[in-house]
A and B are shown apart, each in its own frame.
Chain A
Amino acid sequence: MSNKNFLLGIFEDEEHLVNASKELKDKKIPIFDVYTPFPLHGLDDLLDIKRSRLPYITFIGGIIGLSVGLWFQIWTSKVSWPLNVGGKPFNSFTAFIPVAFEITVLFGALITVAAFFFRTRLFPGKAGDIPDIKITEDAFVLAVELKSSAIDPDLVSSIFSTHKAKEIKTKRGMK
C-alpha cells in the first residue's frame, strides 16, 4: 500500500470542503476519504460510503455464542455431571436462557472487536496513520488517491484552490 500517492486538500471551513467534495463528485473524481474534527451532516451520502459489513460478523458471533452457551450448560448439567436441583429436570432449558443470553452478548461483542481490529489492521503499539496532524485539531482534510494516470493532479489541485483550500500537499503511503 505504501506506493500509493495521495493529494490532500486542507480546509479551514466545513462548507468549503463540502463544496469541493460536490465538485469532485460532479467531475467523477473518486474521493478516497474525508477527515473532519466533527461529524458533518449529509457528507456520508455525498461520499457514497458503503455500509459497514461488521454487523453481519456480530450476528454470526452472537449465533456462535448462543450455541456454545446452550450446549455447554446442557452438557455440564445433563451429560457430564447430572445433579438434582430441587427436583427440576436435568435439562432445565428455562434456567439456561439468562446465561445463554449473556454468552451471546459476550461472543458477539468480542468477535466484533476482533474482526474490526483484523480488518483495519490495528494492533497495540501501531503508529497513528493520519494524513495531517492538523485534523486532530480543527482542520478539514479531503484526500484524493492519485491512481496511475487516470486522475489529473493539476485538476484536483485547482478544484481544491477554487474552494479556498488553505494548503494542498501530496502524501505517500497512507493506508
Chain B
Amino acid sequence: MLTFYKKLLEKNKRFEVGNITEKFNFKIKTKRLLVTGCLVGIFCFVWSFLDSPERAWINYLVDFFYFMSLALGGGFILALTAVTSAAWATPYKRLLEALTKFLPYGLILGAGLFFGIHTLYEWSHPELVAKDEILQGKSIYLNVGFFMARMAFFILVWWGLTKILTSLSLKQDKNPEFSLSAKMTKWGAIFLIVFAFTYSFASFDWLMSVRPHWFSTIYGIYTFSGLFVNVLAVVTLMLIWMQGKGYYKDVINENHYHDLGKLIFGFSSFWAYIWISQYLLIWYANIPEETGYFLQREIHGWDWLFFFNLGINWLIPFFALMTRKAKRSTFILGRVCILLIIGRWLDIYLMVAPDVYHHAGVTNPQIGIPEIGIAIGLASFFILVVGRALSKTPLMPKNDAFLQEGLNLHQ
C-alpha cells in the first residue's frame, strides 16, 4: 500500500494541474458587506421579537438548524469520501472542510436558543405538562436541562470529530504520509456512525419536539436526506461562484459538475422518496394522533406552501437536471442549486412553523421581511466564518492520494 501511495504522489507531481498553492482571497469589502448582513439579521430578529416572539424564535430555530446541518454536511461528505475511497470531492475538499468550521459557533447560537425554549416548545411549560399525561411520560427525556445538555453534547461531538478529520487532511499537506489517509478512513467511519445517531436525535429534539405528541420514526432520515441535497447544492454553487472569480482554474471542469449534478438529481429524488414514505404510511394507517401533523399543514393557507415544497425540492430539479447537458451546464445547475437552497429552508420551516404558530394561536403562514432578514443575517455570519476558514489554507489538498484521480474525471 505504501509503495502504491508513493507512486501516486510521483504521478501527482508529474501532471500537476492548476495552482496548488492558490489561496482564497477574502476581500475586506465582502467582509464589510457580510457584517452589514449580520446587523440586518439582528435588527430583523429584534424587530420581529418585539412584534411577535414566536415568529422571531421560529426563524431563529429554522436558520440555526439549517446552518448547523450544512456545516455538519461538509463533515459528512468528508467522512463518506474517506471511508469509500471516493475521489470526486478531493480537488475541492477544502470547501467541505471550511463548512465544518461553523460548528463551534453553534454552541453560542444553541445557547441563544435557551431563551426561546418556552416560546417554541410546549413541553417546557410545567403547567401544561401537569395537565397532560403523555407529556408527563415524556418529561424524563423532554425537559429543559437534558435538552440543553444533549444539544451541547451533539455540537461538541460534531466539532471534535470534524476537527480531527480536517486537521489530518491539513497535516498531510506538509507531510506526505499514507498513514494519515488510513487514519482519515478510520475516523471517517467513526464519524458516520456517530453522525447517524446524533443527527437523528438532534432532529427529534430541535424540530420534532415542537409537536411533542406526534412522532415519526423516519424523521431522522428525512432531515438527513435534506442535509445531503443541501450540502451538495451549496458546494456546487460555491464552485461555480469561485470559478467565476478565477479560482480552481483548469482544475474543476464540466465533468466535476456532471458528478455533482448526478448526485443532486439522485438525492433530490431520495428526499422525495423519504417524504412520500413518511406521508404514505401516516395516510394509510389513518390514526388521528399521527395524521394531525399533516392535517395542520394542509389547512389555512399552509397547503400551497406544503405542495410548493415538493415542487421546489423535487419536481422542478428532477425535470431540470434530467438531461446530461443540464448537469454539465453551470447555468442550469447553478439555478437549480439556488432553488434547492431556498427549498431546504422552506422544508425546515414547514417542520417547525405550523405547530408553533398553532400553539400561539396564529393560523396562517407568515412569510415576509423578518423571515428573509433573519435568514440573511445568519447566512452572512455563516459565509463570514466559512470564508475566513477558506482564506487560511491552500485551496487544494497537496498530498492526497486521490487528488490525481479526482482531477481526471471522465464521464
Given known contacts A41-B410, A55-B323, what 6 new A-B pairs fall within 8 Å (CB)? Answer: A59-B322, A86-B286, A94-B280, A94-B284, A95-B284, A98-B280
The answer to whether A97 and B280 touch (CB under 8 A), given A59-B322, A86-B286, is yes
Cβ of B374 to closest chain A Cβ, rounded Å: 35
Chain B contacts with A in 271-322, Cβ cutoff 8 A: 276, 279-280, 283-284, 286, 322
Q: B322 contacts which chain A residues (CB < 8 A)?
A: 59
Q: Is B324 an interface residue (CB 8 A)?
A: yes
Q: Is A125 an interface residue (CB 8 A)?
A: no
Q: B279 contacts which chain A residues (CB < 8 A)?
A: 94
Task: Tell me the bound Cα distance from A42 to B284 in angstroms.
Answer: 51
Task: Tell me the bound Cα distance from A72 to B129 in angstroms.
Answer: 50
Q: Is A126 an interface residue (CB 8 A)?
A: no
Task: Tell me the bound Cα distance from A94 to B279 in angstroms.
Answer: 9
Binding site of B, secondary structure by majority: helix, strand, loop or mixed? helix
Query: A88's closest neighbor in chain B, by CB?
Result: B286
Task: Tell me the bound Cα distance from A94 to B285 in angstroms.
Answer: 12
Do B324 and A51 touch (CB < 8 A)? yes
Q: B410 contacts which chain A residues (CB < 8 A)?
A: 41-42
Cβ of A19 to closest chain B Cβ, rounded Å: 19
Q: A51 contacts which chain B residues (CB < 8 A)?
A: 324
Query: A42's closest neighbor in chain B, by CB?
Result: B410
A-B contact pairs, 17 of them (CB 8 A): A41-B410, A42-B410, A51-B324, A55-B323, A59-B322, A86-B286, A88-B286, A94-B279, A94-B280, A94-B283, A94-B284, A95-B280, A95-B283, A95-B284, A97-B276, A97-B280, A98-B280
Chain A contacts with B in 75-100, Cβ cutoff 8 A: 86, 88, 94-95, 97-98
The contact string, 1 if C-beta is below 8 Å from chain A, for chain B 379-390, is 000000000000
Q: A97 contacts which chain B residues (CB < 8 A)?
A: 276, 280
Report which A residues bind B (CB closer than 8 A): 41-42, 51, 55, 59, 86, 88, 94-95, 97-98
Binding site of A, secondary structure by majority: helix, strand, loop or mixed? helix
Task: Tell me the bound Cα distance from A41 to B405 in angstroms.
Answer: 13
Q: A42 contacts which chain B residues (CB < 8 A)?
A: 410
Pairs of residues from A and B, 5 with the lowest C-beta to C-beta distance, nearest first: A94-B283, A41-B410, A94-B280, A97-B276, A51-B324
Task: Tell me the bound Cα distance from A42 to B255 in angstroms.
Answer: 13
Cβ of A47 to closest chain B Cβ, rounded Å: 14
Q: B280 contacts which chain A residues (CB < 8 A)?
A: 94-95, 97-98
Task: Tell me the bound Cα distance from A42 to B279 in angstroms.
Answer: 46
Task: Tell me the bound Cα distance from A47 to B181 in angstroms.
Answer: 38
Q: B286 contacts which chain A residues (CB < 8 A)?
A: 86, 88
Task: Tell me the bound Cα distance from A19 to B310 in angstroms.
Answer: 51
Cβ of B287 to closest chain A Cβ, rounded Å: 12
Q: B276 contacts which chain A residues (CB < 8 A)?
A: 97
Query: A98's closest neighbor in chain B, by CB?
Result: B280
Query: A86's closest neighbor in chain B, by CB?
Result: B286
Task: Tell me the bound Cα distance from A86 to B279 in angstroms.
Answer: 18
Cβ of A96 to closest chain B Cβ, rounded Å: 11
Q: A88 contacts which chain B residues (CB < 8 A)?
A: 286
Query: B325's closest neighbor in chain A, by CB?
Result: A51
Task: Tell me the bound Cα distance from A52 to B167 in angstroms.
Answer: 45
Chain B contacts with A in 239-288, Cβ cutoff 8 A: 276, 279-280, 283-284, 286
Cβ of A120 to closest chain B Cβ, rounded Å: 21
Cβ of A114 to closest chain B Cβ, rounded Å: 21
Query: B277's closest neighbor in chain A, by CB?
Result: A98
Cβ of A55 to closest chain B Cβ, rounded Å: 8
Query: B283's closest neighbor in chain A, by CB?
Result: A94
Query: B273's closest neighbor in chain A, by CB?
Result: A101
The contact string, 1 if C-beta is below 8 Å from chain A, for chain B 391-411, is 000000000000000000010
Task: Tell me the bound Cα distance from A55 to B265 in angstroms.
Answer: 16
Cβ of A154 to closest chain B Cβ, rounded Å: 35
The contact string, 1 if C-beta is below 8 Å from chain A, for chain B 115-149, is 00000000000000000000000000000000000
Query: B411's closest neighbor in chain A, by CB?
Result: A44
Query: A56's closest neighbor in chain B, by CB?
Result: B323
Cβ of B323 to closest chain A Cβ, rounded Å: 8
Task: Tell me the bound Cα distance from A51 to B323 in angstroms.
Answer: 11
Task: Tell me the bound Cα distance from A86 to B323 in angstroms.
Answer: 42
Query: B410's closest neighbor in chain A, by CB?
Result: A41
Query: A94's closest neighbor in chain B, by CB?
Result: B283
Cβ of A26 to closest chain B Cβ, rounded Å: 23
Task: Tell me the bound Cα distance from A88 to B285 in angstroms.
Answer: 11
Task: Tell me the bound Cα distance from A98 to B286 in angstroms.
Answer: 18
Task: Tell me the bound Cα distance from A98 to B324 in angstroms.
Answer: 27
The contact string, 1 if C-beta is below 8 Å from chain A, for chain B 144-176, is 000000000000000000000000000000000
Q: B324 contacts which chain A residues (CB < 8 A)?
A: 51
Task: Tell me the bound Cα distance from A94 to B277 in angstroms.
Answer: 11
The contact string, 1 if C-beta is below 8 Å from chain A, for chain B 24-56, is 000000000000000000000000000000000
